[in-house]
Structure 1
Amino acid sequence: MPALTRRRLLAAAAALPALPSLAQAQAWPSRPIRVIASYAPGGGVDVPTRLVAEPMGAILGQPLAVENRAGATGSIGAAAVAAAAPDGYTILSDASGQALNPALLTNLPFDYETGFAPIGQLCTLPQVLVVLTSGPAGLAALLAAARKKPGMTYASSGIASGPHLAGAVLSRRADIGLTHVAYRGSAPAMQDVLAGAVDMAFSTTPQAVPLIREGRLRALAVTTAQRLPFLPDVPTVAEQGFPGFDVNDWVAMWAPAGTPAPVLDRLNAALNQALSDPARRDRLLNGIGVLPAGGSREDLARFVTAQRLAMREVVRAENIRVE
């Protein structure tokens, strides 16, 4: 029998904490997984989340049940997941509030930087500037109208959302003094645009593209650096006099901090497998108008670290405050 040297004892002791996590991961999942979507039903977080939840559930052998917890720029849903047991049965699907909220919100019951473990990025959410079909025929016409009528209103899915930032940046660069009107999600924002209660909206594409295709709204510009393959005739903001304009939202999945790494790895693998299916990618890209992402857990961690630094600068430059 080999001698129990100090090195062997230390190696054995170091291996012990990993055993429960490994056993848990091998048994996981044994029941449905709850996915908290941090924005309202029908919006840019909810729709793509539901599209990938179904195949992820099939891959993992347990359904992923999506539950909407909207409000406070995504922090209500995030708080629910940060407080959940780190066992892989409650996960978060969130937007760029993960990067913005640390620069905006104080006295939260959790810390964005330490409260979550990254799973993977689901998609990029391009944004589109829309008006009623009876409104201005192009961005130049809209800007001219805004200069003649100070205080024109634009809707967004919430304070410090991607659409809010896009509108704030355009308003400052064009010097037109737009008035921001925040809603609890893209769907109610679009309802008020259609009703004529606001002059325009920046919206993530899942909510706006169907209305554009139905002829109920007119698209004036997209916020990406290049034109979108599913809206090829809609010019970018950048090519209409604002070089470098590139303001987009995104969706990613997270688990509570402390979730075992093997569970996180299985969730990441299921997400990437779901996104690699050609039919699913087509539904995301051409069906609802988002750009599928994917990648490793480490990719998401690096991306969000960079985004948090960038968003602090945007919040400062645009003087964005939570009202």
Structure 2
Amino acid sequence: MPGRRMLIGGALAAAAIRPAASQAWPDRPIRIIAPYAPGGQSDTVVRLLAPKMAEHLGQGIVIENRTGAGGSIGAGAVAQSPADGHTLLFESFAFLVVPFIVKGLTFDYETAFAPVGQAVALPYVLVVRHDFPAQDVAGFRAYAKAHPGVSYGTPGIGTVGHLAGALLERRAGIRLEHIPYRGGAESARDLAGGVIDAAIGTANTFGPLIQDGKVRGLALTSGERRGSLRSLPTIAESGFPGYDLTSWNGLFAPAGTPAPVMARLEAALLAATGDPATQERLTMAGNDVVTEGSAAFAARIQRERAVVKQIVAQTGLRAE
């Protein structure tokens, strides 16, 4: 799908009252690459954050969708960009998974980026088409055992959906067929149309379809009930204790971006996630808003990278 762009005007009047030294950056619109399809989780969240970030920075923000290869095409574009703070990456949990399962990457996820901050956290949800012969996880497992190769769509290779499906296969002793899409919106369309049997995606993507009865929600992937779909049970409480995969979205800059620029980016993101109106919109879209800065986000990435490495090794997860 061709990249979609959006320009959000900055508060130029606010910029005019800042000291001259702070006006050296940004001196032109900032480009944030969302490496997934328009209408999906990452795209939705960054477009909700961008207006307040632009206002705080006094400069416009351009959102560009660069899809494909589990997000690595968009990530690669940012990795190869100048480390001047004018090109950024808005990523998901797939940031941690892709390096372990996609071969031939031309950059190193671990060293190519500097974390600016986390924006939201959210569980994924296991959903099935409206006429699927299962009402809960136990029924899904029984059907999948009797009919190997039940298809499930995800927002792409390396996403929490992909990881969650592989982990469920291993824990439940079933065989599923993974169908990676360029984003959650595309998998939702095909599930609602009966093209695939199931999907694992975000509450933002599937919540409205569940409410309209076009698909059926079975369980959350998080360790506890949370978010806008907290009425659903978790996979953990549905017979698989300890099962816990929670996604997130966060902002990254190319490694080597100057510290003063990183500090201003962090402050802009915190201004957006701390804004009550923005928080309300993010919550309504199924997100748990996070107001932690770069240090906490970097620590999370370090912890979860080790967990992902272990799960990939245990499940044999790979890019199809």
Equivalent residue letter for 1:97: A
Partner residue of 1:68 out of 55, 65, 69: 65
Query: What SS does the aligned partner of 2:109 have?
Result: coil
Describe how 1:158-237 pairs up with structure 2 within 5 A.
Answer: 158-237=156-235
Query: What's the CA shift string for 1:130-153, capped at 9, x where partnerless?
Result: 112222222222222222212111
Encode CA deviations 1:95-136: one digit per residue, 9 max, x unaligned: 123211222234322221221111101111310111122222
CA distance in 2, matches of 1:315, 1:229: 26
Structure 1 residue 57: Cα displacement: 0.7
Distance 1:230 1:108 in 2: 36
Within 5 A, what are the aligned runs for 1:238-253?
238-253=236-251
Residue equivalent to 1:3: none
Q: CA deviation at 1:26?
A: 4.1
Does the residue aligned with 2:166 lie in a helix, a strand or coil? helix
1:32 pairs, out of 29, 33, 55, with 29
Q: Which among 290, 307, 317 is matched to residue 287 of structure 2?
A: 290
1:132 and 1:217 in contact (8 A); partners too: yes
TM-score by length of 1: 0.89
Q: Which of 113, 125, 129 is the matching residue for 1:128?
A: 125
- Matches for 1:9-28 after TM superposition, within 5 Å: 25-28=22-25
Alpha-carbon distance in structure 1 between the residues aligned to 2:287 and 2:56:
22
Partners of 2:317 and 2:30 in 1: CA distance: 36
| Aligned-partner SS, 1:114 | helix
Q: Which residue of 2 aligns with 1:258?
A: 256
> Computing the radius of gyration over CA atoms, which structure comes out larger, 1 or 2?
1
Contact 2:221/2:234 (8 A) holds in 1: yes
Alpha-carbon deviations, 1:256-275, whole Å to 9, x = none? 11111111111111111111
- Partners of 2:103 and 2:219 in 1: how far apart? 34
What RMSD, in angstroms, separates the aligned Cα atoms of the two structures? 1.7
What amino acid is the match of 2:239? G
* AA matched with 1:263: V
Structure 2 gaps, min length 5: 1-18
Tell me, yes or no, if structure 1 residue 315 matches structure 2 residue 312: yes
Q: How does 1:50-69 map to 2 (within 5 A)?
A: 50-69=47-66
Structure 1's unaligned 5+ residue stretches are 1-21
Counterpart contact for 2:127–2:216, Cα < 8 Å:
yes
Specify the code of the residue in structure 2 equivalent to 1:28: W
Q: State whether structure 2 residue 91 is matched by structure 1 residue 91.
A: no
| C-alpha distance in structure 1 between counterparts of 2:280 and 2:262, whole Å | 26
SS in 2 for 1:230: helix
Q: Percent identity?
A: 45
